[in-house]
Structure 1
Amino acid sequence: MGFSGELVFGRSERPLIEAPVFGGAQEDNEGGITACWPRPGGWQTWQFHGTFPGRPEDVLRAVVEWTGAPACVALVHDSDVALVWGLEPEGDMWDAWLNLKIAAEMSDRPLSEMDAAVPDDARRALDWARSAGVGDGVAATAIEEILRSDETFAEEVFTNLLDRLGFPEAVDPEAEG
């Protein structure tokens, strides 16, 4: 059984877990809330294992309001599929499915219909990344490729999406520099 829960990605000088929407929750590496490797510039990803404080879209709005920066949330089911929402401080929101084939099977929607949305999803995700100060020189077709990929783990597709959008790569905090 894979990971089921939410991934929250955003930028802050303080840990995102300190946002008021999380109600004073603490990192719990025993399976509740865990920090992923940080990215330069204050970018960070947090995993919530069944301890999320509300609907992903509402939590996303609260995180963007608290940080004043673009953020995104991914709702992951058993590491097989994820639905990602991204939001800019100006209020522009986008969403996209990761692992389309499984998403189509689970939702009983035609794969062709979901695939037809990929170019627009990729463009909106790239606009979101550019609002965060990254993504210059990235082609929408590169984002489409990620959105159409069928990696084994949706969490890896999420990380690959952030990398391809131009965010700084995550760094092992224990690695010697």
Structure 2
Amino acid sequence: MGFSGHLVFARSSRPLRKSPVFDGAEGAVDLDERRAGGWQTVQLRQGTWNVERLPALVDGTGAPACVADVSDSDLALVTGLDTTGRRWQAWLNLDAVARLLVEEPADVDDPITWLYTPAFHEAVRRKRAELDQAVPEDAEGALAWAEAAGVHPTAERSAVEGLLRSQKPFAEDLFRALLDTLGFPRPTNT
């Protein structure tokens, strides 16, 4: 079983996990990763934080921030917010996302059996194609967010798109790779 929870990324001059938006979640911090320039990632177990706190984090730090909502290390939904309120989202590990988001037909008697049918696999293929169509806009949003954070991405949009379309065993690794690709400093304490 993989990690389920949140990876919260923001800039702060003090330890991010001590920010008031994490009040009550101190015992749920599993990782505190630091990068140059005050950029930090805090990993919180499921149920201890939610994306609705992102505006308060941006207000409190005065800098753009993002959060990856990770499900069993298989997939993640990344939501970023800049200081003007502009928001972007992107899914990580699109194959796993497609399997999760496929709607089960109403006439299915046994949901487990349906997972092994050609109809399920065709539905996943269609959902994956639908998700793929959003990738260019998601990449553009991520790049704009990084620029608003004061990072000057050297990667082309196609590199970010490639990362958003890539598959890795752990969504957490894709999240870190996304931050690296967007031009944020590399972690200093890993």
Report whether the alignment pairs 1:85 with 2:102. Answer: no
Alignment RMSD (CA, Å): 1.4
Runs ≥4 residues deviating over 3 A: none
Paired residue for 2:94? 100
Three-state SS of the structure 2 residue aligned to 1:121 is helix
Greater Cα shift, 58-67 or 160-169: 58-67
Paired residue for 1:63? 57
Displacement of 1:37? 2.6
Match of 1:131 among 127, 148, 161: 148
Three-state SS of the structure 1 residue aligned to 2:56 is helix
Paired residue for 1:168? 185
Describe the superposition over 1:69-117 as per-residue Cα deviations: whole angstroms up to 9, x where unpaired: 0100010000000000000011000000000011011011711110000
Separation in 1, partners of 2:44, 2:179: 18
The structure with more helix, counted as a fraction of residues:
2
Report whether the alignment pairs 1:40 with 2:36. Answer: yes
Letter in 2 for 1:128: W
Three-state SS of the structure 2 residue aligned to 1:170 is coil
Displacement of 1:164? 0.3
Three-state SS of the structure 2 residue aligned to 1:21 is helix
Paired residue for 1:122? 139
CA contact (8 A) 2:17 2:32 kept: no
Paired residue for 2:130? 113
Separation in 1, partners of 2:79, 2:159: 19
Letter in 1 for 2:37: G
Letter in 2 for 1:153: F
The percent of aligned pairs where both chains have the same amino acid is: 50
Separation in 2, partners of 1:24, 1:65: 19
Separation in 2, partners of 1:8, 1:117: 23
Separation in 1, partners of 2:99, 2:145: 28
Match of 1:158 among 167, 171, 175: 175
State the structure with more CA Rg. 2
Paired residue for 1:147? 164
Letter in 1 for 2:39: W
CA contact (8 A) 2:76 2:92 kept: yes
Displacement of 1:51? 4.5
Describe the superposition over 1:53-84 as per-residue Cα deviations: whole angstroms up to 9, x where unpaired: 3x31x111111010010100010000000000
Separation in 2, partners of 1:17, 1:24: 11
Describe the superposition over 1:123-150 as per-residue Cα deviations: whole angstroms up to 9, x where unpaired: 0100000111113332111100110010
Letter in 1 for 2:44: F
Paired residue for 2:12? 12
Three-state SS of the structure 2 residue aligned to 1:82 is strand
Separation in 2, partners of 1:38, 1:134: 16
